[in-house]
């Protein structure tokens, strides 16, 4: 039997169904707007959209250029796959 990989710890910022994309985006925006000067304020955000037709769209907001977006996406991949060993998927 194949051992299932452990998944990365993902902080949830929602109290609604995570499959409700517009509600999750609103909740994320509310969270950003609620940040104060004492917080580690959001300076940029990268979003990856996947349609039912398998079309991928990438969005970047804030202080972000193409290379920073690539770095952020690579860091996210690393965080999501941290602890997953090869050949376990």
pLDDT in tens, 26-37: 988 999 999 988
- Answer whether residue 89 is part of any domain: yes
Inform me whether the pLDDT recorded for 69 exceeds 70.
Answer: yes
| Domain with 55 in it | 41-89
- Answer whether residue 36 is part of any domain: no
Share of the chain above pLDDT 70, in %: 72
- Answer whether residue 15 is part of any domain: no
Report how far residue 21's alpha carbon sits from residue 80's, in angstroms, rounded to the nearest whole number. 20
Residue for token pair 């769209």:
57
Predicted local distance difference test score (pLDDT) of residue 82: 81
Predicted local distance difference test score (pLDDT) of residue 74: 93
pTM confidence score: 0.62
Q: Looking at the 3D structure of the chain, how many domains does it have?
A: 1
- Answer whether residue 30 is part of any domain: no
- Answer whether residue 18 is part of any domain: no
- Answer whether residue 79 is part of any domain: yes
- Answer whether residue 69 is part of any domain: yes
């Amino acid at each position: 039997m194949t051992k299932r990989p452990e998944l990365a710890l993902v902080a949830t910022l929602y109290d609604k169904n995570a499959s409700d994309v517009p509600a999750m985006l609103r909740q994320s925006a509310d969270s950003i707007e609620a940040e104060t000067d004492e917080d580690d304020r959001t300076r940029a955000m990268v979003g990856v959209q996947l349609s039912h037709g398998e079309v991928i769209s990438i969005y970047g907001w804030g202080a972000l250029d193409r290379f920073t977006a690539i770095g952020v996406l690579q860091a996210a991949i690393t965080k999501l796959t941290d602890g997953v060993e090869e050949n376990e998927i």
